Amino acid sequence: MKAKHQRLTLAIIAVVAVFGAGILAVYGLRDNAALFRTPADIAAEPVPVGQAFRLGGMVAEGSIEEQADGITIRFMVQDAEAQVPVLYAGITPDLFAENSGVVAEGSLDTDGVFVAETILAKHDENYMPPELADVDMGRDISQ
């Protein structure tokens, strides 16, 4: 192989690798990126059962119910327009509370209940999940 050709071959390999990675990435993203939705979004446009997404809103007042197993909780996530019931088995994050912002990762089951795998709440009293900044909760929850 001539020197010129080798350089060209290497350049082609590099370009193919980069494009290959790009295509792989695009396919991966199409299947695996989780959208952020609020209860109002779900009311407007139903989400298929089992599709992973992030649900954000406020934990409705008086809605947190402990289930008998002591592990699972059920609560309502609401914004100004709609509510979605959420089931979560696990230890809730430290600043998880009623009338406070929450982002849950999971998917809807056949009964329209959002089964959360993870719950993200605030890191400290100044912090608010960024997605929630623009959500109209119907009242001020920054306090």
Partner 1 sequence: MIAETGLAALWLAAALCGLQLVFGVMALRSDDSGVATAIRPVAVVQGILTALAFAMLIWLFLRTDLSVELVAANSHSAKPWLYKFAGTWGNHEGSMLLWVAILAASGSLVAIFERRLKEKTLIATLAAQSAIGLGFYAFLLFASNPFARLSPAATEGRGLNPLLQDPGLAFHPPTLYFGYVGISIAFSFAVGALITRDVGPVFARAMRPWILASWIFLTLGIAAGSYWAYYELGWGGWWFWDPVENASLMPWLAATALLHSVTVLATRDALRAWTIMLAVVAFSMSMVGTFLVRSGVLTSVHAFAVDPRRGTFILALLILYIGGALALYALRVGTVREGSRFEFMSREGALVVNNVLLSAILGIVLIGTLYPLGVEAVTGEQLSVGPPYFNATAGPLALLLVAAMAVGPLLRWRRDEWRNVLGRISLPALISSLALFALVMFASPIGILPMLGLILAAGVGAASLAPLWKRNLRRTPLFTYGMVIAHLGIAVSMAGMAFESAFSEEVLVAVRPGDTHQVGPYTVTFDSTRPVAGPNWTAVEAGLTVRRGEGEPSSLAPQARMFSSPQTETSEAAIRTAWNGQLYTVLGNGDGSGRWQLRLWWKPFVTLIWFGGILIAFGGLLSLVGRVRRERKSMERESWA
| Footprint of partner 1 on 15-34 (CB under 8 A) | 17-18, 20-22, 24-29, 31-34
The CA–CA distances, whole Å, from 132 to 8, 9, 109 equal: 50, 50, 24
Interaction of residue 92 with partner 1, rule CB under 8 A: yes
| Footprint of partner 1 on 103-132 (CB under 8 A) | 105, 123-127, 129-131
Amino acid (1-letter code) at residue 73? I
The window from 42-50, 74-82, 83-91, 108-116 that contacts partner 1 (CB under 8 A) reads 83-91
Tell me the number of residues near partner 1 by CB under 8 A: 46
Interaction of residue 74 with partner 1, rule CB under 8 A: no
Interaction of residue 54 with partner 1, rule CB under 8 A: yes
Q: Evaluate whether 100 touches 140 at the Cβ level (below 8 Å).
A: no
As measured in angstroms, the least distance from the Cβ of 139 to partner 1 is: 22
For 87, the 3-state DSSP assignment is: strand
88 carries a ligand binding annotation: no
Interaction of residue 6 with partner 1, rule CB under 8 A: yes
27 carries a ligand binding annotation: no
User: Quick one: which of 35, 39, 33, 50 has its CA closest to 102?
Assistant: 39
Start-to-end C-alpha separation, the chain:
71
Among 1, 45, 140, 143, binds partner 1 (CB under 8 A): 1
| DSSP label at residue 46 | P
Measured over the CA atoms of residue 125, residue 129, residue 134 and residue 140, the dihedral's sign is negative
Binding-site residue numbers for heme are 123, 127
